[in-house]
A and B are shown apart, each in its own frame.
Chain A
Amino acid sequence: MSAVTMVAAINAALRDAMDGDDKVVVFGEDVGRLGGVFRVTDGLSDRFGPQRCFDTPLAESGIVGLAIGLAIRGYRPVPELQFDGFSYPALDQALNQLAKYHSRSGGLVDLPVVVRIPSFGGIGSPEHHSESPETHFAHTAGLKVVCPSTPGDAYSMLREAIECPDPVVYLEPKQRYWTREEIDLPLRTEPMDQAVVRRAGDDVTLVAYGNAVATAMAAAAEAEVQAGLAVEVIDLRSLAPIDVDAVVASVEKTGRCVVVHEAPRTLGIGAEVAALVQERAFYHLEAPVLRATGFDTPYPPARLERDWLPGVDRVLDAVQAVWEQ
């Protein structure tokens, strides 16, 4: 076992996938010589050559569109979009084309494309570098959306995403890039479409993903210390589809549910989880499902992000509110 960062885990997953299948190709802005602005693709162009890991011109729509063409041709492209906010120039190719090509081909063509996107905030970045783009993708039929929160999951889920015959948007919580986990690679964790219980408890269910899992874990620990509450934390891992059975199983036990995410509140993943829970577990609920989220404003300038982001405080407020109902 060794302490592996999430960056190293993703890098290893790309390397192992490229080793195992010469149809896997990696490309994007600065992913070649530089190894990516976060060094996620470090060493890949040296190891596999510029045919299989290469820099593209600065054109995000082009990057995703190119991936579609390569996939139709039989490749397994793993393009990188450099930051969340720069996935938006590629939305036509992602939402209109990548998501729909399989169905438009009458099911004849698979699109095994994994679009990797360093995502979310919390690292003091400039504007457009801290977006939470998940809802745009999760709302679009035909795209799977996954988001690991640990290095082990990052490795395993990326390997599985690359093997998946359908397009997967793979959101990397960049604030967690340098967190370490004692693991042995290669490893496989739970299938990527399953949610995982990170901490068990009977009193309140916290549902989170990405950066917010660590916040939820910290809030759960705090709730235990402050109020003796046993808070269960569910790491969704997959945002499309959502593992509703796992969430419902927990809420049937606790009767209380809070969803935590950085994304703005309106029409975020929290809205979908709340709807699913009331559809499936209404009679188990002791309180309305609440959300501890970012606000419905543009992501703030770096110096204000601590105030804006859902921290332990905001989560505890919601936990207390559902508990005291």
Chain B
Amino acid sequence: MAEISQRVGGNGARSTEPGTVAHWGQRRGTLHDADGLIAGPGDPSAGGPRPGDPCIDGGTQGPEVGAGGLGAGTGSNAALRGVDQPLRVLSPDGSPTGASDPPYPALLGPEQHRQMLTDMILTRRVDAELVDLQRQGQLALYASCLGQEAAQVGVAAAMRAQDWLFPQYRELGMLVARGVDPVGVAMMWRGAYHGGRGLLERHTSPICIVVGANALHAAGFALGVRLDAADEVVVASIGDGALSEGDVHEALNMAAVYEVPCLFVVQNNQWAISVPGRVQTKSATLAHKAVAYGIPGIRCDGNDVLATYSVASDALRWIRAGGGPVLLELLTYRRGAHTTADDPTRYRGDAELERWAALDPIDRYRRHLVAEGIWGEEEERRAASVADEAAAHVRAEVCDAADPSATGLFDLVFTRPTKELERQRAQLERELARRRS
């Protein structure tokens, strides 16, 4: 397991073994040595700003933060080595790469494997249904996650129910894997509700359209979790484009300064609408950016669900143990248009698409599980029927769904409408009544 996580930086990194997690934070022990994290210098309760610390009150930094911000070797070549080769445990043909043995945490039993693959198949099926529903005029718009199923399901599978997700807008796979009814997602794209429905019930913040804003909310929420000393971890999900926003830099910086329990997951799908990654940044990788914030940065093959799950699990464990935030770059690819309103043929060619289609995350995982004897025709049939049922459910609930009442908008501005809002509601009610008669 130690081999599966690579890092490009971290608090107090004194890098003796690049490419392993053992040096993720000498100051606090290692990612895998739970005892080391909880006792001695690694005891999260002993270092860093705590509730009431001057640092959190806006005063001077806690000593641990200054001391641990940039450890020796953090920016050294040694520490950076390996980030160009993202962690991958399954080859595109499904065979183990040998990067780790076994190629996934032993904790993952056959049922969990089947669940993850089923979630990925379901995500793809519902995603395709949503694209169709948009074409048929049932949705105003849709942003497909085709090709990103492993990155999304892998991260969600590593989270616990009590953990929190602050998504951007292309996370259908994360949402369904967390148990969110995709109808609630579809209704946002239909133009019926802002933010989606049924997300908060699953510890998931409303869908965030303003790119990058959710990263700060996640950092703040995680600060609250830390102040509460609660056993929860927060995941901010952002895109490669989002990483260019000032908000995201502020989020990473503040999360690092306060050592909050937050995992920043960047789905590097290579594109932000028509803008390729090389226009967004001169950093060699997105994970490199972690170095400057003094937090661990990891790069992982986001089309390899086992690598994603493993790295995300490691990172979440590290964070839970008080290690502070982590930046996780998941290399993947947006195979669909940016949204149903986009025409990607204007800015990218078929060769690139074909290359990534050959790296399909579902085929890869399926081949592996078949070879392991965990998946067969019976499982395939069952997954297909679960996925078809979910798609049919979405279609049935979304097609020609009644719109919410416009007069209800006045109830959502404040906890209680003001007098002026009541006057305006009455005006709209008169207009609507006249139109009906």
A interface vs B, CB < 8 Å? 29-30, 32-35, 37, 55-62, 85-86, 88-89, 124-129, 265-266, 295-298, 300-304, 307-308, 313-314, 317
Please tell me which stretch of B16-24, B32-40, B355-363, B405-413 contacts chain A, meaning at least 4 of its Cβ atoms lie within 8 angstroms of it: B405-413
CB pairs A–B below 8 angstroms (14 shown): A30-B273, A33-B347, A34-B346, A59-B246, A86-B210, A88-B210, A124-B141, A296-B424, A297-B412, A298-B194, A302-B191, A303-B140, A303-B192, A304-B403
B404 in contact with A29 (CB, 8 Å): no
CB distance from B283 to the nearest CB of A (A): 11
B245 in contact with A58 (CB, 8 Å): yes
Query: Is B280 interfacial (CB 8 A cutoff)?
Result: yes
**Alpha-carbon gap, A303 to B434, bound state (A):** 19
- The residues in B between 379 and 437 inclusive whose CB is less than 8 angstroms from any CB of A are 403-404, 406, 409-410, 412-413, 420-421, 424, 428, 431-432, 434-435
B209 in contact with A126 (CB, 8 Å): yes
Query: Is B220 interfacial (CB 8 A cutoff)?
Result: no
- Chain A residues, CB < 8 A from B244: 57-59, 62
Chain B residues within 8 Å of chain A by Cβ, number: 47
**Known: A125-B141, A296-B420, A296-B424. Is A29-B275 also a contact (CB below 8 A)?**
yes
B140 in contact with A302 (CB, 8 Å): yes
**Known: A58-B275, A127-B209. Is A307-B428 also a contact (CB below 8 A)?**
yes
A265 in contact with B424 (CB, 8 Å): yes
**Known: A57-B280, A127-B209, A301-B191. Is A308-B420 also a contact (CB below 8 A)?**
no
Additional A-B contacts beyond A57-B275, A296-B424 (18; CB < 8 A):
A29-B275, A34-B274, A58-B280, A85-B210, A86-B210, A89-B213, A89-B245, A125-B141, A126-B189, A129-B209, A296-B421, A297-B409, A297-B424, A298-B194, A300-B409, A301-B192, A304-B403, A304-B409
- Chain B residues, CB < 8 A from A85: 209-210
B431 in contact with A58 (CB, 8 Å): no
B428 in contact with A295 (CB, 8 Å): yes
Query: Is B195 interfacial (CB 8 A cutoff)?
Result: yes
- Chain B residues, CB < 8 A from A265: 424
CB distance from B411 to the nearest CB of A (A): 9
B434 in contact with A313 (CB, 8 Å): yes
- Chain A residues, CB < 8 A from B346: 33-35
- Chain B residues, CB < 8 A from A62: 244, 246
CB distance from A310 to the nearest CB of B (A): 10
**Alpha-carbon gap, A60 to B432, bound state (A):** 38
A55 in contact with B275 (CB, 8 Å): yes
**Alpha-carbon gap, A34 to B213, bound state (A):** 25
Closest A residue to B343 by beta carbon equals A34
Contact partner of A303 (CB less than 8 A), chosen from B190, B213, B341, B431, is B190
B interface vs A, CB < 8 Å? 140-141, 188-195, 209-213, 241-242, 244-247, 272-275, 279-281, 341-342, 346-347, 403-404, 406, 409-410, 412-413, 420-421, 424, 428, 431-432, 434-435
B420 in contact with A34 (CB, 8 Å): no
Cβ-closest 7 pairs across A and B: A302-B191, A34-B274, A57-B244, A307-B406, A58-B241, A303-B191, A58-B244
Closest B residue to A82 by beta carbon equals B273
**Alpha-carbon gap, A34 to B212, bound state (A):** 22
- Chain B residues, CB < 8 A from A129: 209
**Alpha-carbon gap, A323 to B194, bound state (A):** 39
A128 in contact with B210 (CB, 8 Å): yes
B410 in contact with A295 (CB, 8 Å): yes
**Known: A58-B244, A124-B191. Is A313-B210 also a contact (CB below 8 A)?**
no
**Alpha-carbon gap, A314 to B209, bound state (A):** 30
A298 in contact with B413 (CB, 8 Å): yes
**Alpha-carbon gap, A314 to B427, bound state (A):** 9
Contact partner of B140 (CB less than 8 A), chosen from A125, A128, A295, A296, is A125
**Alpha-carbon gap, A313 to B436, bound state (A):** 13
- Chain A residues, CB < 8 A from B273: 29-30, 34, 37
